[in-house]
Structure 1
Amino acid sequence: MTGHTERPLLFLDVDGPLLPFGEDPHRTPRGTTPDSRLARLTSELGNRLTALPCELVWATTWEEEANAEIAPRIGLPRLPVVKWPEPTDQHEREDRWFGLCWKTRALVNWAGGRPFAWVDDEITDADREWVAAHHSGRALLHHVESYQGLADEDFAALDRWLRAL
């Protein structure tokens, strides 16, 4: 990953953090249509992401579609995209055994020792422990509720962590 500035990375998942889905278990159900999910994608969201002191990277199954569909709606430039490697049987078994998110190993490899924050609705303590043991740089694995998406407190936590580096 040469040629990049050494700003910390922010790995962005789309479904959940940027496009909330599902129901809040503590509230009465509300309708969530694909159109209402996309309506959440505003330039304000893009402005808040670009205001963070980091390099944004798509870490989503959307892959390049995130640049085609999501970035223009929120006013982001084309971002780097994590390409997901085919899992080896051994890694798949290990990851399941440790309870890891299927993205964890690939993101640590992609970061190559650089500090990174990762926002996703699939992050667990198992991922945090694995990253602490296998990543030489600092890392913040920030879980976002899938029904809520990135909220003010998430942006505040990310901003604090990134500026403390």
Structure 2
Amino acid sequence: MTEETRRPLLMLDVDCPLNPFAARWPRRPRGYRTHRMLPPSYAARREAAGRDVRPLRVRLNAAHGKRLLGLGYDLVWATTWAAEANEYIGPPLGLPRLPVVEWPEKIVPELDGLLFKTRHVVEWAAGRPFAWVDDALTARERRFVGAHHPGPALLHHVDARFGLREDDFATLARWAREQAQQR
């Protein structure tokens, strides 16, 4: 196994960690720029529901791409943006094309209240150590991952008002270093 395949995965949600969508409008956290984006899947959903199709306001901090790449992880999109993250989110951040955790075409809420992404993230990781940043992570997801994932995992909640901050990057870097020491 090469050094590259032994690095932990970093499962990235877009809306919150990278796009602090809950920040008070028109304020945005320092370092963020607002982009107008109209992904085809979003436009199709709005159109099918008979709603106005307007571009999304997406706030991104271009410095985050380089920082994420330097953390010692293999980055993976774990977002409802799905493959569109490679077209719309990656380029402004300076990220290369990343692998994508694919979701079922129709997202159905889990009966036990588990975040719909959780089972798919665990399956995609296939036992490999992973960190996951998302604003919807709770104790329920942590229990599920602990019971169903044989490797180490860090589920890190990020506040949707602020996106990734210094303490979040420090936590992710520390965890990646700990995983490297255990190899």
TM-score band w.r.t. shorter chain = 0.7 to 0.9
- 87 and 40 in structure 1: CA distance in 2 versus 1, 3 angstrom threshold: closer
SS at match of 2:175: helix
Q: CA RMSD in A?
A: 2.2
For 2:85, the equivalent position in structure 1 comes to 66
Alpha-carbon distance in structure 1 between the residues aligned to 2:126 and 2:163? 27
For 2:11, the equivalent position in structure 1 comes to 11
Equivalent of residue 96 in structure 1, options 111, 121, 126: 111
Specify the code of the residue in structure 1 equivalent to 2:111: R
**1:80-100 deviations in Å (ceiling 9; x for gaps):** 0111135798xx5xx432x31
Alpha-carbon distance in structure 2 between the residues aligned to 1:103 and 1:115? 17
For 1:26, the equivalent position in structure 2 comes to none
Equivalent of residue 128 in structure 1, options 142, 147, 151: 142
Q: Does 1:82 align with 2:96?
A: no
Taking structure 1 as the reference length, what is the TM-score of the superposition? 0.83
Greater fraction of residues in strand: 2
For 2:26, the equivalent position in structure 1 comes to 31
Q: Does 1:143 align with 2:142?
A: no
Taking structure 2 as the reference length, what is the TM-score of the superposition? 0.75
Specify the code of the residue in structure 1 equivalent to 2:151: G
Identity %: 53
The aligned length equals 151
Equivalent of residue 153 in structure 1, options 141, 148, 167: 167
Alpha-carbon distance in structure 1 between the residues aligned to 2:146 and 2:59? 36
Specify the code of the residue in structure 1 equivalent to 2:74: E
User: Deviation at 1:41?
Assistant: 3.0
Structure 1: stretches of 5+ with no match in the other structure: 24-28
Does structure 2 retain, via aligned residues, the 8 Å contact 1:41–1:70?
no
SS at match of 1:60: coil
Structure 2: stretches of 5+ with no match in the other structure: 36-56
SS at match of 1:129: helix
Alpha-carbon distance in structure 2 between the residues aligned to 1:88 and 1:74? 28
Alpha-carbon distance in structure 2 between the residues aligned to 1:14 and 1:69? 11
SS at match of 2:14: coil
